[in-house]
Amino acid sequence: MQVPEGLRYTENHEWVAVAGDAKVRLGITDFAQDQLGDIVFVELPEPGDRFESGEEFGTVESVKAVSELFMPMGGEVAAINEALEDAPELVNTAPHTEGWMLELKASDPSEYDQLMDRAAYLDMLKGLEE
């Protein structure tokens, strides 16, 4: 299981990376995609849509289930990964790179610092395995 250094993580298994100019890029973690199985569809919001931290912003559909996606930070959607429309399996094969979901112009960039770092996320995952 990959848990890259330099990203922040949520209890809902989303990852967040700084993308510059108060923007962040986000997606779901390797752990999340592994639990879901083969992803067949990703529903994402439109650029310009605004969300508060914790709000549902889309869904991921796999052969096993449909899972909601929750916004790790508040802000406005700046871009979505349109490649996922034709290739949702990118979330399985490269969840932290080509399988990113959206870019967000954060309304409060300090929310990033409140998310879990790699060590805290790994500790949380250990608790799930017990």
Give the Cα separation of 114 and 77 in Å (integer). Answer: 20
DSSP string, 13-27: SEEEEEEETTEEEEE
Q: What pLDDT is attached to residue 129?
A: 65
Please tell me the predicted confidence (pLDDT) of residue 22.
82
Torsional sign, CA 97, 102, 104, 109: negative
Question: The whole model's pTM is what?
Answer: 0.92
Question: Rounded to an integer, what distance in angstroms lies between the CA atom of residue 75 and that of residue 81?
Answer: 17
Least confident of 18-22, 31-35, 56-60: 18-22
Q: Residue 96 pLDDT more than 80?
A: yes
